[in-house]
């Protein structure tokens, strides 16, 4: 098997050295070159034809966003952004994902040896995933947790098998996504009208990024989009995005649905977890719900979507061709959890038809 050819673009010599050592430690990755600025990187791309680029945001001569925009316009290819976990860094990184970057990872802390092994496993996994991603140029329309124990949704919400009577007929839509999901969620949400049923969303995203992401979605969607809060009522015309630090669950309070936040252990290595959200919706909304699983690495959400289906909910999975990474939806399809498998642009229309029939 040919090695994945990686090009590291960063103005810091120390960061270039750290990233080179990390990626070169994996036998499936070869760092073919490094570049201190986009001008040098441009020539390296022409000469070496790398499979993946890691790209810093802030660099001399040309900033990372401008360089990324040029790449996606002239030669679309997989890019993993190296981002600072700050509010400003979050906004810039979300812009990079809009432009077509596959994923992002926090900038390594050179002075902290503790935790470097965990960081290395994250960036290696992201580079490998990016090398297989479907990359498309996009036009702007308007630290993953690694844990020693792998928990299932049982660690946060117990699975029940009782057939609950749902007194409310209020509809609810649950969406889960990971790699490539910020843009997939945006495309789905922008197509929903202002009077759509309440929507709950889990996207694998760091704590510092989830609120800026919710704010960006609120600016471009007809629905009102919130960064979910404990006890918040789930209302029609509103969407609620899980905080990056907590699982989002749906609970019932009388005939109402409310948001419940949990700081329980990561499930499938993620907090928030899609499996946790989907299980809570299966148990509290049953056939009054609809589940949608979008692009993402891994299998989080596949089992939860099956639980929603078994509880009487309609379910949709994004198809392989339109997914950046067909991990999560692909696993759901393997389980037989998806009633419909659709390209991204058709998901909202199908969801509205299904939810209106229920």
What DSSP string describes 236-295?
TTEEEEPPTTSEEEEEEETTEEEEEEE-PPPBTTBSS-HHHHHHHHHHHHGGGEEEEE-S
What is the distance between the alpha carbons of residues 254 and 107, in angstroms, rounded to a whole number? 46
Is 77:48 a contact under the CB 8 Å cutoff? no
Helices (H) and strands (E) in the chain, counts: 11, 14
Q: What is the H or E stretch that residue 169 is in?
A: none
Greatest pairwise CA separation for the chain in angstroms: 65
Phi, psi dihedrals of residue 23, rounded to the nearest 5°: -70, -35
Token pair for residue 154?
């049982």
Q: Cis bond leading into 272, ω under 30°?
A: yes
What is the distance between the alpha carbons of residues 187 and 217, in angstroms, rounded to a whole number? 10
Q: Say whether 126 sits in a helix, a strand or coil.
A: helix
Is 264:156 a contact under the CB 8 Å cutoff? yes
Is 285:276 a contact under the CB 8 Å cutoff? no
Closest listed residue to residue 324, CA positions, set 132, 180, 182: 180
What is the distance between the alpha carbons of residues 55 and 179, in angstroms, rounded to a whole number? 17
Give the chain's radius of gyration (CA, Å). Answer: 20
β-pairing verdict for 52-56 and 79-83: parallel
Which residue numbers are catalytic? 178, 204, 300
Q: Count the neighbouring beta carbons within 10 Å of the beta carbon of residue 216.
A: 19
């Amino acid at each position: 098997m040919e090695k994945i050819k990686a090009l590291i673009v960063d103005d810091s010599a120390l960061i270039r050295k750290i990233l080179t050592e990390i990626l070169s430690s994996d036998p499936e990755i070869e760092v073919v070159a490094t570049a201190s600025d986009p001008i040098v990187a441009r020539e390296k791309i022409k000469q070496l034809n790398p499979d993946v680029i890691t790209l810093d945001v802030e660099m001399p001569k040309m900033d990372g966003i401008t360089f990324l925009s040029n790449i996606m316009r002239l030669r679309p290819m997989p890019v993993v952004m190296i981002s600072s976990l700050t509010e400003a860094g979050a906004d810039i990184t979300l812009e990079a994902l809009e432009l077509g970057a596959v994923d992002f990872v926090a900038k390594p802390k050179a002075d902290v040896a503790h935790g470097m092994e965990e960081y290395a496993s994250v960036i290696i996994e992201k580079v490998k995933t990016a090398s297989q991603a479907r990359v498309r140029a996009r036009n702007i329309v308007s630290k993953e947790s690694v844990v020693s124990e792998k928990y299932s949704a049982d660690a946060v919400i117990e699975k029940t098998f009782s057939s609950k009577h749902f007194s409310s007929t209020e509809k609810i839509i649950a969406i889960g996504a990971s790699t490539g999901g910020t843009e997939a969620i945006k495309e789905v949400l922008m197509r929903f009208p202002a009077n759509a049923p309440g929507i709950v969303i889990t996207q694998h995203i760091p704590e510092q990024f989830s609120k800026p992401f919710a704010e960006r979605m609120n600016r471009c969607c007809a629905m009102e989009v919130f960064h979910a809060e404990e006890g918040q009522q789930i209302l029609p015309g509103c969407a609620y995005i899980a905080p990056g630090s907590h699982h989002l669950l749906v609970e019932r309070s009388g005939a109402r649905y409310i948001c419940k936040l949990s700081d329980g252990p990561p499930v499938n290595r993620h907090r928030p977890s899609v499996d946790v959200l989907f299980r809570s919706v299966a148990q509290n909304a049953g056939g009054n719900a609809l589940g949608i699983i979008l692009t993402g690495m891994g299998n989080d959400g596949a089992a939860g979507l099956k639980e929603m289906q078994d509880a009487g909910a309609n379910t949709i999975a994004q198809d392989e061709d339109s997914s950046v990474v067909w991990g999560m939806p692909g696993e759901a399809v393997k389980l037989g959890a998806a009633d419909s498998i659709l390209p991204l642009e058709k998901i909202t229309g199908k969801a509205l038809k299904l939810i209106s029939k229920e």
